[in-house]
Structure 1
């Protein structure tokens, strides 16, 4: 203990390398997610030509991954509670590798869809477990920053995939686009075997001594580990519950509904229509094939860079403030894109580059706000005894909404036209700004146990972080 501390004082937590390394390894699950989003974007036109399929079938191939992810999110709640966070991440890694290889060697649409569904199950499990795991190994003063690593990995994966797509597209090597993502999947599986178990999960399983040892390993202080383990144990009144707790406790219903609403909001911002269909959007804006691919890669780069804003300010500026700022930028970006597209197909370079600029503003707004902040909040607001169930519900909603958006975008584009489609998403983002003002709490720097006590005390949702 530091001599400057009075006798008996508990050493404050330190961000030791072991805790950061564990968070980074878990966050690599997000890299797999991002790679899949990116590669399918670049491969779509080649898949459509190879299998001679319609836009509707193409949309189903894109959206089939989200069906698997929704199922994976539901399975993850059970596997995470019974087998543990680490084992669930390992399972998701194996499934990701299998799904990627299946897609790369697919000889028909059904085989492609089957591979996409397996990929989806893997990503659904990982998207549930990784933010949850990181929130449980991080101390409260750095929790937001460390969960943001998951979003950074997603954006990095998208960028890497966009860049590889831009290169491989010159050779028409779409099977390589789909198969190469199995490589980081193998790396993730190996790394996941070295992750420590979640201290909160160990306490829930009655393995108190192991929890203390793990916390000591992560925090670098036995005194702090004992204090934190006692705090976790005090908040565990009974084993993990789901439907029964939802039925009995109105405050738990509030946190579950807030998590569901937040994940629905994240998808309805329109981010995944940009990521899945970026080349198509650039085509609508008047760009040729080369411009479409490199414009898409630029989106990936901005997505990564803006995520560093979240990492730098999530624990100082705060979740709520960043969400509010992001929704203003996203509403303005979508609205400006809709207006530019309403000018009609034009050869004006100025209009083309303005369209790129406002699209990049939208992506930037999402990357530092709704992208990481919603995953952070969903990992923070659920009480410990219902955390697996609550996060499973919100993650399932994310993928169900993702499916809806992915399946309907091309239909909306054909039916409403590009300007009206993007006006619709601009209106959604304006509504989400009002929702955040009314219901979303500020949770930065607040222990998970304190958030839980405030929720159960009946405080307004926007006040449970105070």
Structure 2
């Protein structure tokens, strides 16, 4: 059972690898193809454009083909996209290859958590979903370390192509995964679902009870689009999910993930130091994510979000100030790096994992698939906007002003969290739904 869940969570690892790998390769791609910063922005953001498209189609795909087959298609696209990136003979080809990689990531980020939720027993379901989130941050760290190893030779093709190897392992492992029992029951294949659950649970009594529970749940049909058109309260929850995902991206976190070496270059570091500090960003991201897992059910969502947005606003504000006054000595360099790492801690302990949690909690059952699909699509679109504008902001707006802008946005998010975000700690999904549909203000639907 654990092996099945961990293997499915490896989809998160591939997601993290794809996010992180482009960061260290950019300067070498730019040198070989002699392209502008604007073209680099398109190379970076093409992946997010593909992911948005992939996520849109993943709902239909996972329902029609099944969760396992959708993950298989995602793994094949991931391998093909990685090798295509490594072989790219022009910037335009590289943009297309990154788009294909994005399709794979969009499919995987929708399907893998869904599959995990459906095959994991209730007692470890939360831990398995958390494992998926942790695998994303681990993938980013491994990509940064891989980039650092290849940076000595400047071989960006190996940087982008090497991630096909874990993709191939994931593809092979998928053939040993069972189909989702919930999907099998959705397709009327009750006996097959019982066989899978017997393999996963090992207790016939539990199997019969779970089959009955799933069949009872399947009687609640999804009709999110009609609800969205007809029910103003549901439109509020969808709007909140969309807003939360936009907030997550406009914290500036993925600016650091995609452009860390460039940021460290602007602090005065040489290429070798840029790559090692980028690896430090990845390690900090992994370790700080564990803070959220430890505190979310003790302190609640809103206190952690308040702390996270405050830390991020301070961290980026100080980085902007240091860049504004000039970073001359070694001590000033280290201090600025420390403030950037503080920002990473703020994100990884709060908005990183908690936004996804809140987006699923605030959607009513009959419209949950639609609501989560809207917020996930928003995540990728705003992610693309961030990736496609950062270098332009640096050149046109200035280094200090760009970081101050993101610091100001984090300060605004503190106010938005107070006015609109509910505290859902210890509240059942059913109670949240009753409060939402009863017309309570959004920030009070968790009471």
Offset of residue 195 of structure 1: 3.5
Structure 1 residues 254 and 235, CA, compared in 2 at 3 Å: closer, same or farther? farther
2-side partners of 1:447 and 1:139: how far apart? 19
**Residue of structure 2 equivalent to 1:69:** 51
**Residue of structure 2 equivalent to 1:387:** 368
Determine if the alignment matches structure 1 residue 290 to structure 2 residue 290: no
In structure 1, the residue corresponding to 2:373 is in which secondary structure?
A: helix
2-side partners of 1:210 and 1:444: how far apart? 37
Structure 1 residues 450 and 214, CA, compared in 2 at 3 Å: closer, same or farther? farther
Offset of residue 377 of structure 1: 2.6
Question: 1:404-448, CA deviations, whole angstroms, 9 ceiling, x for partnerless residues?
Answer: 001110111111111111111111112222222333334456565
Contact residue 142 and residue 315 of structure 1 kept, 8 A: no
Aligned length: 447
**Residue of structure 2 equivalent to 1:107:** 89
Offset of residue 94 of structure 1: 1.0
Contact residue 144 and residue 315 of structure 1 kept, 8 A: no
Instruction: Please say which of residues 152-161 and 452-461 is displaced more in the overlay.
Output: 452-461
**Residue of structure 2 equivalent to 1:325:** 307
**Residue of structure 1 equivalent to 2:28:** 46
**Residue of structure 1 equivalent to 2:222:** 240
Offset of residue 451 of structure 1: 4.6
Question: 1:268-326, CA deviations, whole angstroms, 9 ceiling, x for partnerless residues?
Answer: 01011101100111111111211111111111111111122223333444333332221
Contact residue 269 and residue 428 of structure 1 kept, 8 A: yes
1-side partners of 2:87 and 2:358: how far apart? 39
Offset of residue 379 of structure 1: 3.5
Structure 1 residues 206 and 310, CA, compared in 2 at 3 Å: closer, same or farther? farther
**Residue of structure 2 equivalent to 1:133:** 115
**Residue of structure 1 equivalent to 2:15:** 33
Determine if the alignment matches structure 1 residue 361 to structure 2 residue 342: yes
Determine if the alignment matches structure 1 residue 397 to structure 2 residue 378: yes
2-side partners of 1:381 and 1:87: how far apart? 29
| TM score, norm. by length of structure 1 | 0.88
Instruction: Please say which of residues 358-367 and 135-144 is displaced more in the overlay.
Output: 135-144
Determine if the alignment matches structure 1 residue 164 to structure 2 residue 146: yes
2-side partners of 1:155 and 1:34: how far apart? 6
Offset of residue 394 of structure 1: 1.2
Determine if the alignment matches structure 1 residue 266 to structure 2 residue 248: yes
2-side partners of 1:181 and 1:166: how far apart? 14
In structure 2, the residue corresponding to 1:171 is in which secondary structure?
A: coil
Contact residue 151 and residue 272 of structure 2 kept, 8 A: no
CA RMSD, 1 decimal: 2.6
1-side partners of 2:245 and 2:335: how far apart? 30
Match runs of 1:61-460 below 5 Å? 61-138=43-120, 143-202=125-184, 204-206=186-188, 232-344=214-326, 346-444=327-425, 448=429, 451-452=432-433, 454-460=435-441
1-side partners of 2:440 and 2:319: how far apart? 40
Question: 1:378-403, CA deviations, whole angstroms, 9 ceiling, x for partnerless residues?
Answer: 33433443333222211111111011
Offset of residue 99 of structure 1: 0.4
Offset of residue 87 of structure 1: 2.2
2-side partners of 1:251 and 1:213: how far apart? 41
Unaligned runs of 5+ in 2: none
Contact residue 141 and residue 445 of structure 1 kept, 8 A: no
Offset of residue 226 of structure 1: 5.4
Instruction: Please say which of residues 165-174 and 446-455 is displaced more in the overlay.
Output: 446-455
Q: Which runs of 4+ in 1 moved over 6 A?
A: none
2-side partners of 1:463 and 1:219: how far apart? 39
2-side partners of 1:219 and 1:335: how far apart? 51
| TM score, norm. by length of structure 2 | 0.91
Structure 1 residues 365 and 465, CA, compared in 2 at 3 Å: closer, same or farther? same
2-side partners of 1:143 and 1:439: how far apart? 28
Structure 1 residues 159 and 49, CA, compared in 2 at 3 Å: closer, same or farther? same
Structure 1 residues 332 and 22, CA, compared in 2 at 3 Å: closer, same or farther? farther
In structure 2, the residue corresponding to 1:314 is in which secondary structure?
A: helix
Instruction: Please say which of residues 441-450 and 107-116 is displaced more in the overlay.
Output: 441-450
More helix by share: 2
Question: 1:124-182, CA deviations, whole angstroms, 9 ceiling, x for partnerless residues?
Answer: 11122223333444566655443222221111111111111111110122111000001
1-side partners of 2:125 and 2:296: how far apart? 9
2-side partners of 1:144 and 1:435: how far apart? 27
